[in-house]
């Protein structure tokens, strides 16, 4: 069992607990409404927690992930309270937070806490909160009713939506209305949830400011310049912490979270007999997504982390670390995808089922001195480290699981024989569904460049299990609308 000191050194996403989470949520609502009914606030959190506990989630299951979006000051106090008595009552914990939290900046602290807890309350997987039922208009679309959720309606600028971040805004505003939280505090919270749309232009500070100005004019809130700056700062802070794993500067830590995200995208991957095609399709989706994201980031089209001060050194460092992590992750995912493609080709040629069986027994002819061979010069040490850690238990957001599988050892063998660049070329051909002449591919005489005949056309055998052709259209349509809305606000 971890000592109190050890627990304070680990991130609260791993060591925290729902009881403390509820206490911080209730404290925040009390800051925003000093007369809040604590029983109602507790019930609101219980409904929120019920959504996060849906078994269809994995990375986002439980309150470990939203907990890591707590502001730094709150995290410090949270760690101090980790040794609280297990039978401590809610009011006692709320009082402890009240006594330990600095007096200054409490409104912004509370807005960031509430925004962080609600930002993923609606998820693509699993059951949606009952409070959304009154907004459903058929299919997966929901009406954004200005009378019921005026802040969300003003922020989105759209009468209907299907995007999960937008739906989380609706849930948050409805719940906060029941707690009689004033509109001037709900608006920054809704804006913060909205800003967590992954890697979207909406989270650029200038765009957030223009959007907020339109909202305050529409709702006649009359925010002062300081209140405007604070509200935008709340949104930026919540969004930055949501993307925090990209700036940790550790590919190994980032990969733990990526694996958890992949399992959430396809829970079948947790089964030992899952199909290799499913695993390959899921990895390909992340591989392509991060290649596209890296290109957009390096081209200066978007940033992963933002700041009101463009020259803020902390933010510049986070973005620099994020670019490096993305670059390394692309290599890692590409090598893993190529390994799966090689395995599937080998097993198909041997007329074996392509379920996720142990990669031994594939009769791959490796040189006897393979273990003594060095890795290619372009094989990053961080990627080797991650692959060496696959097959071991790890914990993400309080959820323990085995990261990866036996394919990692095969990947390390293959990269010695084939090389990094040729394996990434194989991965890039995934959608062409090539059959690989594995024996020719593994012939060490070809050096670092495989025989051009190693790819052969074949009938389409793998299903497109990662995204249907039109599954991204709603998001793309919303992004186009967001751009139009930004232009409208500039007028």
List, for residues 62-81, the tens digit of each pLDDT value: 999 999 999 999 999 999 99
- pLDDT confidence of residue 84: 85
Cα gap 427→424, rounded to integer Å: 5
> How distant is the alpha carbon of residue 231 from its chain centre?
23
Arithmetic mean of pLDDT, 200-229: 95
Question: Which residues make Cβ contacts (< 8 Å) with residue 38, sequence separation at least 6?
Answer: 26, 30, 90, 91, 94
Answer yes or no: is 62 within a domain. Answer: yes
Number of domains composing the chain: 2
pLDDT, tens only, 23-59: 999 999 999 999 999 999 999 999 999 999 999 999 9
Same domain, 158 and 251: no
- How far apart (Å, rounded) are the C-alpha atoms in residues 193 and 41? 19
290 shares its domain with 169: no
Is the pLDDT higher at 85 or at 187?
187
Other beta carbons within 10 Å of 173? 26
Indicate whether 472 pLDDT > 50. Answer: no
Average pLDDT (94-98) is 97
What is the pTM for the complete model shown? 0.88
Rounded to 10 degrees, the C-alpha dihedral 69/73/74/75 comes to: 70
- What is the rounded CA–CA span in Å between residue 416 and residue 424? 13
Which is higher by pLDDT, 223 or 478?
Answer: 223
Residue 482 lies in a domain: no
- Let me know if residue 469 belongs to a domain: no
Q: Which residues pair with 456 in a beta bridge?
A: 435
pLDDT computed for residue 490 by the predictor: 37
Residue 464 pLDDT exceeds 50: no
**Does some domain include residue 57?**
yes
Q: Flag whether 472 is in a domain.
A: no
pLDDT at 281 over 50: yes
Number of H helices, E strands in the chain: 21, 7
Question: Residue 490 in 3-state DSSP?
Answer: helix
Strands (E), 273-398: 393-396
pLDDT in tens, 238-260: 999 999 999 999 999 999 999 99
Per-residue pLDDT tens digits for 355-380: 655 555 566 778 778 888 899 999 99
* Residue 131 forms part of a structural domain: yes
Q: Please tell me whether residues 267 and 232 are part of one structural domain.
A: no
Q: Residue 474's pLDDT is what? A: 32
Task: State whether 328 and 451 are in the same domain.
Answer: yes
Q: Which residues pair with 138 in a beta bridge?
A: 141
Angle, to 10 degrees, between the axis of helix 183-194 and the axis of helix 164-178? 160
What confidence score (pLDDT) does residue 439 get? 77
Residues 54 and 144 in one domain: yes
Q: For residues 62 and 206, state if they share a domain.
A: yes
Residues spanned by the domain of 87: 4-242
**Are 330 and 440 found together in one domain?**
yes
Query: Which residue, of 242, 260, 280, is where some domain finishes?
Result: 242
**C-alpha count within 13 angstroms, C-beta hemisphere, residue 462:** 27
Six token digits for residue 306: 């933002």
- Residue 399: enclosing H or E segment and its boundaries? strand 399-402
User: How far is Cα of residue 400 from the mean position of the Cα atoms in its chain?
Assistant: 17
∠ Cα 474 477 480 (to 5°)? 155
Residue 33 included in any domain: yes
- The H-or-E segment that residue 256 falls in is helix 251-265
Mean pLDDT within 4-19: 77
From 321-325, 359-363, 474-478, the region with the lowest mean pLDDT: 474-478
Write down which residue in 242, 275, 301 finishes a domain: 242
Q: Which distant-in-sequence residues (6+ apart) come within 8 Å of 334 by Cβ?
A: 287, 423, 424, 427, 428
* Same domain, residue pair 238 and 283: no
Please answer whether residues 126 and 56 qualify as being in contact, where contact means their C-beta atoms are separated by less than 8 angstroms: yes
List all residues 6 or more positions away from 367 whose beta carbon is below 8 Å from its beta carbon.
Answer: 373, 417, 444
Q: Are residues 196 and 344 in the same domain?
A: no
Tell whether the model's pLDDT for residue 468 goes beyond 60: no
pLDDT of 363 reads 67
Per-residue confidence (pLDDT) for residue 312, from 0 to 100: 92
Examine the domain organization and report whether 385 and 435 are in the same domain.
yes
Contact criterion met (CB below 8 Å) for 441 and 451: yes
pLDDT in tens, 415-455: 998 999 999 999 999 998 887 888 777 764 544 444 444 44
Residue 162 near residue 142, CB atoms below 8 Å: yes
| Distance, CA of 221 to CA of 218 (rounded, Å) | 8
Instruction: Judge if 214 and 258 occupy the same domain.
Output: no
Supply the pLDDT for residue 477.
Answer: 36
The last residue of one of the domains, among 242, 270, 299, is: 242
Q: For residue 340, what pLDDT band results from cuts at 50, 70 and 90?
A: very high
CA distances from 17 to 71, 128, 398, 468 (A): 17, 23, 9, 37
Residue 432: its pLDDT value, please? 87
Q: Could you read off the pLDDT of 160-184 as tens digits, one per residue?
A: 999 999 999 999 999 999 999 999 9
The reported pLDDT for the residue numbered 358 is: 56
pLDDT, average across residues 272-283: 92
Neighbours of 244 (CB within 10 A): 17
**pLDDT at residue 263 greater than cutoff 90:** yes
Across 343-364, average pLDDT = 69
Q: Tens digit of pLDDT for each residue in 127-143? A: 899 999 999 998 889 99
Per residue in 285-321, pLDDT (tens digit) is 999 999 999 999 999 999 999 999 988 999 999 999 9
Alpha-carbon span 354 to 24, nearest angstrom:
48
What is the Cα Rg of the chain in Å? Answer: 25
pLDDT at 2: 47
- Residues contacting residue 333 through CB under 8 Å, at least 6 positions apart: 258, 283, 286, 287, 290, 427
In a domain, 478, yes or no: no
First-last CA distance in the chain: 60
Question: Residue 395's beta-bridge partner residues?
Answer: 400
3-class DSSP assignment, residue 136? strand
Cα 415 from Cα 408, distance rounded (Å) = 11
Burial 186-221 (b: 16+ CB within 10 A, else e): bbbbbbbbbbbbebbebbbbebbbbbbebbbeebeb
Task: Indicate if 282 and 221 belong to the same structural domain.
Answer: no
Q: Which two tokens stand for residue 259?
A: 């694996």
Compute the average pLDDT of residues 476-485. 41
* Residue 380 DSSP class: -
pLDDT of the residue at 370: 84
């Amino acid at each position: 069992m971890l000592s109190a000191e050890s627990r304070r050194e680990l991130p609260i996403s791993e060591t925290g607990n729902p009881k403390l989470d509820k206490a911080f949520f209730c404290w925040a609502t009390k800051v925003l409404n000093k007369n809040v009914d604590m029983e109602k606030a507790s019930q609101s959190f219980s409904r929120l927690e019920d959504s996060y506990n849906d078994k269809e989630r994995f990375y986002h299951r439980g309150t470990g992930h939203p907990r890591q979006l707590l502001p730094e000051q709150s995290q410090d106090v949270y760690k101090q309270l980790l040794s609280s008595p297990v039978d401590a009552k809610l009011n006692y914990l709320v009082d402890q937070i009240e006594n330990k939290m600095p007096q200054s900046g409490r409104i912004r602290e509370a807005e960031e806490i509430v925004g962080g807890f609600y930002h993923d309350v609606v998820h693509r997987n699993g059951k949606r909160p009952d409070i959304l039922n009154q907004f459903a208009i058929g299919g997966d679309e929901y009406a954004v009713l200005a009378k019921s959720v005026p802040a969300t309606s003003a922020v989105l600028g759209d009468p209907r939506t299907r995007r999960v971040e937008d739906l989380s805004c609706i849930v948050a505003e409805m719940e906060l209305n029941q707690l009689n939280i004033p509109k001037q505090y709900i608006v920054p919270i809704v804006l913060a949830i909205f800003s967590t749309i992954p890697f979207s232009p909406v989270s650029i500070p200038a765009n957030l400011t223009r959007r907020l100005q339109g909202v305050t004019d529409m709702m006649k809130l009359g925010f002062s310049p300081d209140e405007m700056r604070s509200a935008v700062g709340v949104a930026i802070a919540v969004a930055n912490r949501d993307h925090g794993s990209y700036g940790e500067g550790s590919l190994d830590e980032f990969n733990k979270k990526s694996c958890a995200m992949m399992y959430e995208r396809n829970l079948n991957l947790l089964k030992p007999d899952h199909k290799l095609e499913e695993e390959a399709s899921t990895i390909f989706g992340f591989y392509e997504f991060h290649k596209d994201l890296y290109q957009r980031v390096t081209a200066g089209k978007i940033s992963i982390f933002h700041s009101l001060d463009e020259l803020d050194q902390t933010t510049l460092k986070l973005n620099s670390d994020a670019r490096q992590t993305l670059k390394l992750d692309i290599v890692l995912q590409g090598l893993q995808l190529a390994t799966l493609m090689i395995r599937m080709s080998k097993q198909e040629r041997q007329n074996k089922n392509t379920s996720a069986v142990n990669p031994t027994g594939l009769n791959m002819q490796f040189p006897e001195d393979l273990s003594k061979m060095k890795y290619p010069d372009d094989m990053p040490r961080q990627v080797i480290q991650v692959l060496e850690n696959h097959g071991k238990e790890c914990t993400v957001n309080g959820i323990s699981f085995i990261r990866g599988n036996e394919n990692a050892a095969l990947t390390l063998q293959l990269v010695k024989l084939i090389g990094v660049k040729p394996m990434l070329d194989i991965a890039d051909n995934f959608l062409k569904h090539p059959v690989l002449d594995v024996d020719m591919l593994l012939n060490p005489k070809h050096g670092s460049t495989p025989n051009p005949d190693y790819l052969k056309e074949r009938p389409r055998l793998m299903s497109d299990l990662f995204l249907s052709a039109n599954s991204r259209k709603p998001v793309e349509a919303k992004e186009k609308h967001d751009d139009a809305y930004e232009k409208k606000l500039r007028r």
